[in-house]
Amino acid sequence: MLPFAATLVFAVALDWSTKALVMAGYMPKLGRRCFRHPLGKFPPGLTAALIILDVSLAFAASFISSPALQVALGLAAAGAVGNGVDQIRHGGVLDFIDLKVWPVFNIADAAIVTGTVLASITLI
């Protein structure tokens, strides 16, 4: 459970702090675009479902012995928490990393994708 919790806390803190730094103007946007999506990428009902999924992932992680899988689930959960809370508090999700070859995204989005890929690799 420790790898899950530590990863979750670290990734959420990194996501929220980078969003705060970008909004305050202390951190340059990576690329030239910065968006606050009014409804994020998900409708409100799906945001609530993702929060429920986070609780389920935390419960499931307590039964998983693989540290790599716990880290993967922690990353995915952190991404959902980061964007979910952003959506609830600000009415939208802030995206500020623009690599020009992918849609603009944020640390929470990267955590979700990385966690999903890591979980897939771990389970193969």
Residues classed as catalytic: 95, 109
Helix axes 44-61, 2-24, angle to 10 degrees: 140
Our separate counts of H helices and E strands in the chain read 4, 2
**CA-wise closest residue to 34 among 42, 20, 22:** 22
CA pair distance 80, 48, nearest whole angstrom: 10
Cα–Cα distance for residue pair 124/105, rounded to 1 Å: 27
Q: Which amino acid is at 106?
A: N
